[in-house]
Amino acid sequence: MTKPLHHSQILEQQNDDGSIIISIKVKINFELERLLLGFGESIEVLQPKRLRKRISERLNKGSELYLD
């Protein structure tokens, strides 16, 4: 919350464990994917489903590079 991802960011929910749910209104593009991937395991994309799937695919592909 101290460094918003986008000016449209809205805090939707604050959880007891300190996690938050936010919403942003942006176009899905490569730059957005890179920004989200930069959070590593600290972020989960909930919606839209196609962005969630795309981030999952990219994380899986990246993790394959570290398998022995």
Q: Residue 36: in which H helix or E strand, if any?
A: helix 30-37
Return the closest-CA partner of residue 27 out of 48, 55, 44.
48
Q: Could you tell me if residue 34 is inside a domain?
A: yes
Cβ within 8 Å of residue 11, ≥6 positions away: 1, 20, 21, 22
pTM: 0.85
Q: Could you tell me if residue 3 is inside a domain?
A: no
Domains in the chain, number: 1
Residue 49 backbone phi and psi in degrees, to 5: -60, -40
Return the closest-CA partner of residue 34 out of 8, 68, 59.
59
Q: What pLDDT is recorded for position 34?
A: 96
Q: What pLDDT is recorded for position 21?
A: 96
Residues of the chain short of pLDDT 50, as ranges, are none
Per the listing, tokens 């919350």 go with 1
Full residue range of the structural domain in which residue 60 is found: 10-64
Q: What pLDDT is recorded for position 51?
A: 97
